[in-house]
Structure 1
Amino acid sequence: MIDSIMLYLGCPIWSSKDWLGNFLPASAGREMLAAYSQRLPMVEGNTTFYGMPSLETVARWRDDAPPGFRFCLKFPRTISHDKALVGCETDLEHWIERLRLLEDRAGPSFLQLSREFGPDRLPVLRRFLESLPPDMRFAVEPRHAGWFTARNEDALNGMLAGMDIARVLYDVRPLNAADTSDPEVREALRKKPQVPVRMDRVGSYVQVRFISHPDVPTNDQWLAEWAPRVAQWLADGADVFFCMHSIYDLEMPVLCRRFHDHLVAAGGPLEPMAPWEEEVDITQLSLF
């Protein structure tokens, strides 16, 4: 695991058969979370968007991960999309109960707003955020294009900063630059919001979601842009939760290590990242 109390670098999942024998031991089997959490200090855990996990499941996740690890779980879609933050008090109560079960392993739980949830619903968002426990960390990811105009953005950022809730910084530029003749790229783009990147911290901690280019080395131009900002946030004492997404599972841990190297080069206050089972050759990944 990265020896840092402030940088939480990881993937949107903790389990992939493509990782066995390289990022994770070939023998990891059903113990993938335990193995993953010894190598990277954070996971998003996007599966919670599709269904509320049981209390027993969340407790098992907590116990499988070591102290210092962080889960940045996505709000269930029943809250964010199906009910659009209205009339979801019971769902929210159940969700907070699960987040509390994570104890010291709870990172920011992030609320991904639907593409239809626009700035005209700012009062709804405000009321919902005001109902959240002030002793827990949360982040908000806007996806409606209207949030990205100057006036609406100022209103959103000001509200979040006043509550010390992070705004998810979402960077889809790398994937947008990929070859759209690849059907997997086209499908990934169909699912992603086409919103401009934002790189300014809102709140005392930061959550970044980096949507990578399928050719690993091509991502360097964007990673090099993020590195000095993240290094400065770390130097300022801010916790940074940085998640690497890829249409190929095998690439995610490789990109984490690559970004870590960029951060060290940018002066980030980081210890070297420990080696894994067998390092994946990124030049081979670039052939995908």
Structure 2
Amino acid sequence: MPARAHIGTSGWHYTAWRNGFYYGLPEQQWLGFYCRHFNSVEINASFYRLQSRETYRRWHDATPPDFRFSLKGNRYLTHYKKLLDTLPGIHLERERAQGLGAKLLVVLWQLPAALDMDLARLGEFAKALTAWPEVRHAIEFRHPSWFNQQVATCLHTNGIAVCQSDAADWPMWQAITTNLVYIRLHGHDATYASSYPVQALQCWAQQVNGWLEENKEVHVYFDNDADGAAPLNARTLASLVLRSVN
């Protein structure tokens, strides 16, 4: 089966999109409307608060059969536990996320910007993630001390992808450690706020198309949600990519 590009936004429930992207639709119709434009979404709310299995099941049932989810792992494990003693939390999050069924493809783990490299912690966390084998895992590093071959080797050995994270406030590591490529676009000039010009999206599309030709699975999510830039940028990128569903 050929690789597929999953393109969307980081979350879909933003009040700033109400009268723009959603054309004034009531909130209960937003997810259905979103699915008519995109084939995937990164669940962002799970980072701040654990969601119930029932909530995940409701989202599963409200989306088309070929729609897919990525899930942002809860910050308790990354920002409070700082990758240590994470197995109980991984079991809990996995149990709840089963409400998404086979529609959940990837879990993203975002590390705090102040957490510098600790290879032992990373190895312990990678071992704990084997308790959640039904999905792929990706890690977003925001401190540049992680950007080295030792970390890349650890990730490759454990089948964990690097999240290439573009923003104005932290550097991006463009390493590829698996056949999964995971991209988060937060806004290049102003984090969470700036829109990507067409020329930049064309450059990203060229890279995505190249990865697809290499039979890599690609996820791209826009997190520049202020003023509704994310869905507009995501639609443009999807139109430029060879094998997105829409």
Q: TM-score, normalised by structure 2?
A: 0.87
Deviation for aligned residue 1:170: 0.8
Segments of 5+ residues of structure 1 without an aligned counterpart are: 177-191, 274-288
1:157 counterpart letter in structure 2: A
Of 76, 97, 100, which residue of structure 2 is paired with 1:78? 76
Structure-2 separation of matches of 1:235 and 1:20: 37
Task: Name the residue aligned to 2:122.
Answer: 125
Structure-1 separation of matches of 2:17 and 2:114: 36
1:140 aligns with 2:139: yes
Deviation for aligned residue 1:231: 0.1
**Larger Rg computed on CA atoms:** 1
For residues 1-288 of structure 1, the aligned pairs below 5 Å read 6-20=4-18, 23-24=21-22, 26-119=24-117, 121-132=118-129, 133-148=132-147, 153-172=148-167, 176=168, 192=169, 194-195=170-171, 197-212=172-187, 213=189, 216=195, 219-263=197-241, 268-269=242-243, 273=246
> Structure 1 residues 78, 128: closer, same or farther in 2, change over 3 A?
same
Q: TM-score, normalised by structure 1?
A: 0.75
Q: CA RMSD in A?
A: 2.3
Higher strand share: 2
Q: Deviations over 1:102-124 (max 9, x none)?
A: 111102111111223222x2111
Q: Give the number of aligned pairs.
A: 239
> Structure 1 residues 198, 84: closer, same or farther in 2, change over 3 A?
closer
Secondary structure, aligned partner of 2:233: helix
Deviation for aligned residue 1:99: 2.5
> Structure 1 residues 30, 244: closer, same or farther in 2, change over 3 A?
same
Structure-2 separation of matches of 1:165 and 1:116: 21
Deviation for aligned residue 1:247: 4.7
Contact persistence 1:12–1:44 (CA under 8 A):
yes
Task: Name the residue aligned to 1:184.
Answer: none
Segments of 5+ residues of structure 2 without an aligned counterpart are: none
Secondary structure, aligned partner of 1:115: coil
Structure-2 separation of matches of 1:247 and 1:270: 21
Deviation for aligned residue 1:48: 1.0
Contact persistence 2:42–2:221 (CA under 8 A):
yes
Aligned-residue sequence identity (percent) comes to: 26
Secondary structure, aligned partner of 1:24: coil
Structure-2 separation of matches of 1:200 and 1:90: 30
1:220 counterpart letter in structure 2: V
Deviation for aligned residue 1:215: 5.8
